[in-house]
């Protein structure tokens, strides 16, 4: 029996769908917190910093639209 385990990125993508985060800002904030925890334990993953930046940008544009 083959033991298949998911990578951190696959788990993140399953838990936080980008389309769902566009409609739900609280989910995006939760995802940012999750990324910050991942960064503490796996600082050598460059995709974490990129995802954090993209989510923060998404939240800022949503905030500007509501003004």
Residue 48 pLDDT > 70: yes
Torsion angle in degrees (nearest 10) through CA of 21, 18, 36, 58: -60
pTM of the predicted model as reported, rounded to 2 decimal places = 0.79
pLDDT at 34: 95
For the stretch 3-33, pLDDT in tens is 678 899 999 999 999 888 888 889 999 999 9
Query: What whole-number distance in Å separates Cα of residue 27 and Cα of residue 16?
Result: 7
């Amino acid at each position: 029996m083959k033991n298949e385990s998911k990578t951190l990125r696959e788990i993140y993508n399953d838990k936080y769908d980008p389309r769902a985060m566009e409609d739900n800002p609280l989910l995006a904030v939760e995802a940012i917190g999750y990324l910050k925890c991942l960064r503490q334990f796996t600082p050598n993953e460059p995709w974490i910093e990129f995802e954090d930046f993209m989510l923060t940008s998404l939240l800022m544009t949503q905030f500007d639209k509501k003004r």
